[in-house]
Amino acid sequence: MKKTALLFVISSIAISLAAHLFFLFEWAHGRYMTGNGDGLAQMVVFKSFLFDQYKQGNFFYSYAFGLGGGIYSQLGYYFTTSFVFLASFAAVLLLQFFHLAGNADPLFWANAAVFISAVKLGLIILTASYAFLYMVKNRASAFTGAVLYGTSVIYFRHTVFWEFFSDSMLWLPLLVAGAEKIIREKRPGLFIIACSLTLFNNFYFAYINLIFIAIYVVFRWFIHLDDREASKWEQFRMFFASGLISFGISAVSFVPAVYGFLNNLRPPYDQPVPLYDFTDDILFSSRIILLPAAFVLFLFVFSFYQNKTFRLFAGISLLLGLLHFSPLAASAFNGFSAPQNRFEYLLAFTIGGAAAAGLSGIKSIRRKEIAWSCLFTVLVYIAVIFREDLDLSLLRNWSSLVLLFLTMGAFIAAGLRYRKSLLVLHGCLLASAVFVANTYEKYVLSESSEIKSVSKSYLTSNDYDGEEQRELLENIKKDDGGDPYTRIDWMNGVRNNTPMIQKFNGFSAYSSILNKNLLLFYWTDLEVDMGRESVSRYATMGGRANLYSLLYGKYYMREKENASDVPYGFEKTDESKHYIVFKNNYTLPFIRTANTVYSEKDLDNAPVLAKEHAMLKGIVLENPGEKAKPPTSSDLMGQTKLKMKGASYENGVLNVTSESGGIDLIPPDNVPKEGDYYVTLYLKSLAKDQFFNLKVNDYVTSRKSNKSIYKTGVYNLTIRVPKAEKVSIRLPKGKYKLDNLKLYQEDYQTLKQASAKKAPDARMNWKQNKLLIQYQNNNGGRYMVLPVPFEKGWEVTVNGKKQTVQKANYAFIGFSIDKGKNDIQLAYYPPYFKETLAVTVIGLAAGIWYSRRRKKLGS
């Protein structure tokens, strides 16, 4: 057994390294195995960020995550509880201890990606080999089937673009093996372990894996593989109890992560989802799943279906194959949201299982079956070639045919029982899997998806993380006296996670799960335009000086060619060859107190400018007791002249007939010249599929197509522009719904008055998830408000008494304070963390007890 285990380990590592040969060669030439989209924007960034946080002992909250947020729940979709990442963290920490690794920045993680992937793939092949060996009792067949699973193209697609996606492939074989242990041996221990691991690791892929296990168990109820299997009722009881215990064990991770997901804001997908779409070619060119030629051959060996294990895996494969062509199924596996083909690794697993079962029984097939199998397979390939009108001069197409005929030759030889022909077939399948993996890496990932552009030179350039930018950021920190809470508005291009890359407190974040309150703050409450419509992101303050001051935004950094539209009150303090830095003259204190209280409800229909003034003058709460009359702002449209430019406007529809046309607003002459205009409008393209830019004077913002799955569904916009003789609204040729056009002017007198007030006499210390404030409340302020986002998990005590943390100023923290001395402690824990930690401990105890009990009953 030890020799067998060692052989499997060595073979798994060898195949994994062979399957990564292309990316290992790329690594040797300074190019990396990570995507130039989310790979560089999220994967390496979050790993670098979390490594730093965990190394500091900070596991729950970070002020540097966007505008501040709970990293345990909001990044739970990514790496916070990923066992692969946690193992990587431990390994890198050990290397750093022995001075064998330097700073674990994004460049480091990009460098390490291919090695982490090689280890992970080796483990996937190993776990799949264990599961298949349990079922087919043939080592070579089990290993070959595991290789077909592990090296499937979806593994490399997932790993390159969204690295944590492929972690789920590690737990799936263990879940199946655990299910088989329950069905055959009435022993739930492995299933509890595997189910707990997948639930703890990632709630999203746990959802997909558990759907698969439910399908698998239903198939098993109809296809019995062992005469001593437990009855359906007994199986149901064990699966139910084991699942319940697993949810308990994983509760400390699963519940906060799911809460974060539910507290996210994602518009419902409103496009029609078709039942089927057969356009993907899974024999030659699919980017998601490619059927191995051996699997197609085996499907037409009808005697194989007498083998119940083959029948099981082939049947599930056919079902999953049909579901691959169904956008509706893709939507269901994505939580009934936009269709996403992320579940096909399940199909890769069942294909591997079918191959393992077929290989174990190939010696029993008849010659006639070999002929029919080859004939039907060739006909299928010919039909696809003609249907798709394939260009057979392309490498990926003719190489698929070469692999087909090589596999077919080895299959015929094995079926005819030539000496060592079965060994040749195994070798052919392993070599084919490695060849397909490397070919896919080169032509589909590296060249077609531009992964080859991800290099050391790019990651150290000004396009990503340049020395020139870092020097200016260091200058800012020196100029600011080392204030650890200062926020800087700087984002490198459209990389919203630039602050995490360059290690400063910023105004932007890009994550699939974000604080719902912040997104509402941007989208609807304050209508802050980000310069780019997109879900899962927020950025900047739309150039609105009031908001920068309220959120402790002291600095504004831009490329020189994009530095014309600087927020009011910011003046130049530094510059380099390509960049320029401005400093806010009206920054408000981090800790602010308020006596005047306004109601959110009273401000519901007020202009966003009135809401800004309310936050500057006092505090805005959801359910205040006593409340003041809210500020007002006058709409200037009644005094404003409208002129059409290359467009007509009738019944709320703007028809732009020139390449760039729209409306000019000519404000009245009696408006103060200093300050800004706020232009408010409802804008929606009437085209079915049109991405477009809205330009208001020099300000440009992009809007998604109506068909985009990343559109926000928000059409009420507020654009801030510096005061000028006219406000020009420009759009590309087309028709638009344009309504509720309003114009407000801001002279910033309210901001100047707020910034002129004396800062509260307070001392603050923030360490990890706890914020301590000492404040002498001599002015009789009723509330304290902080530029820290409100979310479930914050607790506050004032002078030893627990207070309620309130949502203040639409998305931030506020709470009552006492007169005189205030000793304040704010602490953040993930939602329901303490309760779920207790459930996890109970679940572990229950799991140990139940597994031992079933083991005794079974023996």
The letter for the amino acid at 478 is K
Residue among 292, 277, 289 at smallest CA distance from 381: 292
Each residue of 200-213: pLDDT tens digit? Answer: 999 999 999 999 99
What per-residue confidence (pLDDT) applies to 858? 62
Q: In the 8-state DSSP scheme, what is residue 758?
A: P
Packing angle of the helix pair 833-858, 189-201 (nearest 10 deg): 160
What per-residue confidence (pLDDT) applies to 269? 84
Pair 294, 429: CB distance under 8 Å: yes
Q: In the 8-state DSSP scheme, what is residue 447?
A: I
Q: CA-to-CA distance for 745 and 302, rounded, in angstroms?
A: 78
For residue 218, the tally of other CB atoms under 10 A from its CB is 11
- Asked if residue 487 has pLDDT above 80, the reply is yes
Each residue of 508-537: pLDDT tens digit? Answer: 999 999 999 999 999 999 999 999 999 999
Coil, strand, or helix at residue 111?
helix
Q: Which tokens is 624 given?
A: 């205040």
Coil, strand, or helix at residue 714?
coil
User: What are the DSSP E strand ranges found in 48-140?
Assistant: 61-62, 69-70
345 phi and psi angles, rounded to 5 deg: -65, -25
SS3 per residue for 50-65: HHHHHHCCCCCEECCC
Q: CA-to-CA distance for 252 and 254, rounded, in angstroms?
A: 6
CATH T-level fold of 637-670+673-746:
Jelly Rolls (2.60.120)
Alpha helix segments (H runs only) across 460-587: 467-479, 498-502, 516-520, 545-550
Q: CA-to-CA distance for 753 and 596, rounded, in angstroms?
A: 15
- Asked if residue 1 has pLDDT above 80, the reply is no
Residue among 830, 801, 831, 832 at smallest CA distance from 817: 801
Q: How far is CA 175 from the centre of its chain?
A: 24
Q: Provide Rg for the chain, Cα atoms.
A: 31
- Asked if residue 142 has pLDDT above 80, the reply is yes
Average pLDDT, the chain: 94
What integer is the mean pLDDT of 103-124?
97
What per-residue confidence (pLDDT) applies to 482? 87
Q: CA-to-CA distance for 522 and 530, rounded, in angstroms?
A: 8
pTM of the entire predicted model: 0.94
Alpha helix segments (H runs only) across 300-366: 308-324, 327-333, 345-360
- Domain residues of the chain, as ranges? 162-265+833-859, 637-670+673-746
Each residue of 594-650: pLDDT tens digit? Answer: 999 999 999 999 999 999 999 999 999 998 888 899 999 999 999 999 999 999 999
The letter for the amino acid at 548 is Y
For residue 102, the tally of other CB atoms under 10 A from its CB is 10
Pair 729, 682: CB distance under 8 Å: no
What per-residue confidence (pLDDT) applies to 337? 87
What per-residue confidence (pLDDT) applies to 271? 85
Each residue of 38-87: pLDDT tens digit? Answer: 999 999 999 999 999 999 999 999 999 999 999 999 999 999 999 999 99
Each residue of 390-446: pLDDT tens digit? Answer: 777 676 678 888 999 999 999 999 888 887 899 999 999 999 999 999 999 999 999
Q: Read off the pLDDT band of 703 (50, 70, 90).
A: very high
Region of residue 818 (left: phi > 0; alpha: psi -120 to 50; beta: else): beta
Residue among 669, 673, 639 at smallest CA distance from 747: 673
What integer is the mean pLDDT of 567-588?
96
The letter for the amino acid at 159 is T
What per-residue confidence (pLDDT) applies to 859? 54
Q: How far is CA 393 from the centre of its chain?
A: 38
What integer is the mean pLDDT of 226-237?
93
Residue among 608, 784, 749 at smallest CA distance from 681: 608
Each residue of 714-758: pLDDT tens digit? Answer: 999 999 999 999 999 999 999 999 999 999 999 999 999 999 988
What integer is the mean pLDDT of 285-312?
96
Packing angle of the helix pair 106-136, 21-28 (nearest 10 deg): 160
Q: In the 8-state DSSP scheme, what is residue 530?
A: -
